[in-house]
Structure 1
């Protein structure tokens, strides 16, 4: 996490950064204090940070994780569930954690244009998220047809090679300012 904040402070001025936090790390008692220290140390605007919870099934200390989730949002950061739908407990966390964004696992997206099953699952995830006031992002979007289908389902954002290739912060052009996340609510297809 120290390295991530240092890179963000030195990196291009993009509007938003996403930092993965494992389920196991999320339950560590000192995590919130460490994040607060790093935000201050590197002078990073917390509104530019989203913490992505990975491996939700491995959250060891649920009460500490819930405390972190609530407190991090009070700081101004956002919270996302990553790889949603791939873990058994995903819907439990959607219901019980203060989540801003759900990132729909790419396994449901890569062949969604040809798969009625994937279409039904993604629609269900989007409807559940909308009922909770949670935004959605689809991972692994590879073509314009997928973007149009996702837009029709009400998915808010898309990530994948159709939108832009991921690149490390270190070595990115200082004037980049671009995002690899495509806002389906306002942007036109690529």
Structure 2
């Protein structure tokens, strides 16, 4: 089944009451935590690393998935990624966008993919806007993409009425 991804802001992940709030929301709305993936950006985690790790541990105990968003754009290291143990690593779009013409960006994306694979995390390339970028990501071994090449953003009402499930061109 598809996952619903929810971005957690820096203020949200730093809020000590967030864990109780999320647990309460799951009970109140009878939500299945296995269908939810919480996305945490590098920058949101930088001020209180340990509090973020505690929240992630609690969410994982509920059965939620965790995604490390915009990885490669901030100041956090592979060490944070190792400690977080995300289910998904979303590679920052600025790196993805540049892989066609910048060999350093390409090597960084490949390194993120390799570390993610060893950890058992799936990778997502952000900002994919053309076939050349898609093909390069495929060659590197990136698992999923997001961006205008796949589909432009749509209002949530549209997704509720008609979920987007498309096959990418061969």
What is the TM-score when the length of structure 1 is the normalising length?
0.80
What's the secondary structure of 1:87's corresponding residue?
A: coil
Task: Give the paired residue count.
Answer: 170
Q: Which has the higher contact order (CA 8 A, sep 6+)?
A: 1
> Which residue in the other structure is 2:92 paired with?
105
Distance 1:174 1:79, change over 3 A: closer
Q: Does structure 1 residue 189 correspond to structure 2 residue 137? A: no
Tell me, what secondary structure is at the counterpart of 1:172?
helix
Q: Is the 8 A contact 1:19 1:49 kept in 2?
A: yes
Q: Aligned runs of 1:1-190 on 2, under 5 Å?
A: 15-56=2-43, 58-169=45-156, 171-172=157-158, 174-178=160-164, 188-189=168-169
Tell me if the contact between 1:26 and 1:59 (Cα under 8 Å) persists in the aligned partners.
no
More helix by share: 2
Change (3 A) 1:57 1:51: closer
Q: Secondary structure of 2:75's match?
A: coil
For structure 1, the 5+ residue unaligned runs are 1-13
Q: Which moved more, 1:40-49 or 1:160-169?
A: 40-49
Change (3 A) 1:57 1:33: closer
Q: TM-score, normalised by structure 2?
A: 0.88
Kindly report the root-mean-square deviation, in angstroms, between the aligned alpha carbons of the 2 structures: 2.1
- Structure 2 spans left out of the alignment, 5+ residues: none
Q: CA-to-partner distance for each residue in 1:8-29, whole Å, 9 max, x for gaps?
A: xxxxxx8221111123421322
Distance 1:132 1:58 in 2: 20
